[in-house]
Structure 1
Amino acid sequence: MRLLRSTDLALRVLMRLAVAGGSQPTTRDVAAAMDVPYTHAAKVVADLRHRGLLTARRGRGGGLTLTEKGRGASVGALVRAFEGEGDVVDCEGGSATAPCPLRSDCRLRGALRRAQEAFFASLDPITVADLAADPTGPLLLGVPRVRQGSA
């Protein structure tokens, strides 16, 4: 299973904010530090803000701040939210493919569904705060903050 870029970025943003202390990086700072396009980071930040996991203030003295809900958020719940709980394989076929001829009697779909749920369940007890604990925290603080217009 491979996570979507948005899921990966959401987790990394939350982890970075968990160790930010008094600093409030901007969305541009996050995009630069994570080496992703600003538009992609802005969409992820907006989604996280909508979910109540971070706050975003504009203007001078603004930036991103992790909420208590964000600090205690379950990684399993976050991954489910960003990835969706759809099947790993599309047995019904999308608009571009025909349905699988084995779909009525195939055991693969159920096995993959159980494996996917085991994956999510293994992440459920882990929180964002857990991910940002030592030794990861100091590494996250070392991620450079690049301001727009700086060399």
Structure 2
Amino acid sequence: MRLLRSTDLALRVLMRLAVAGDSNPTTRDVAADMEVPYTHAAKVVAELQHLGLVAARRGRGGGLAITDAGREASVGHVVRSFEGDGDVVDCEGATPCPLSPACRLRGALRRAQEAFYASLDPMTVGDMVTAPTGPLLLGITKAP
């Protein structure tokens, strides 16, 4: 299974904010730290804010902060939120699969997808930034 770039970036942004401490980095800071285009980071941050996982304040003294809900969010929940509920394969697209009436593959792939998500459910964003990851994230953060 391959994650969307936005899903990967969302997880990295949450991890970065989880180790930010009292500093409130801006979206530009986070984009620079993660070495991604600002526009991509801004879209992901907006979705994370919509989900209630990130708080953003504008103006002087503003910036981004992970919320308590964001720190306690299940990684599986975050991945599901960004990936959507779609099937791994599109059997009903513009050219429907002729095997659909008797296919076992679609169900097997759906079960595998759910097992993937279920394996991520017990892990929280806070769990992801325990040592050695948290100190490494702090090490790659650009100094103000």
1:26 equivalenced with 2:23 (yes/no): no
- The offset of 1:143, in angstroms, is 1.6
Let me know the Cα RMSD of the aligned residues. Answer: 1.1
- The offset of 1:144, in angstroms, is 3.0
Map 1:103-118 → 2, pairs under 5 A? 103-118=100-115
Match of 1:83 in 2: 83
- The offset of 1:78, in angstroms, is 0.7
SS in 2 for 1:104: helix
Amino acid at match of 1:65: A
**More helix by percentage:** 2
Deviation sequence 1:2-41 (CA, Å, 0-9, x none): 0001000000000011111111110001111111111110
Identical positions, percent: 76
Q: In the alignment, is the contact (CA less than 8 A) between 1:74 and 1:126 conserved in 2?
A: yes
* Distance (Å, rounded) in 2 between the aligned partners of 1:45 and 1:145: 19
Gaps (5+ residues) in structure 2?
none
- The offset of 1:59, in angstroms, is 1.4
- The offset of 1:146, in angstroms, is 6.9
Which of residues 123, 126, 129 is equivalent to 1:126?
123
The TM-score, its normalising length taken from structure 2, stands at 0.96
Deviation sequence 1:79-106 (CA, Å, 0-9, x none): 0110011100001124xxx111111111
- The offset of 1:145, in angstroms, is 2.2
Instruction: Extract structure 1 runs of 4+ deviating beyond 2 A.
Output: 144-147
SS in 2 for 1:55: strand
* Distance (Å, rounded) in 2 between the aligned partners of 1:50 and 1:7: 15
Map 1:26-65 → 2, pairs under 5 A? 26-65=26-65
Say how many residue pairs are matched. 144
The TM-score, its normalising length taken from structure 1, stands at 0.92
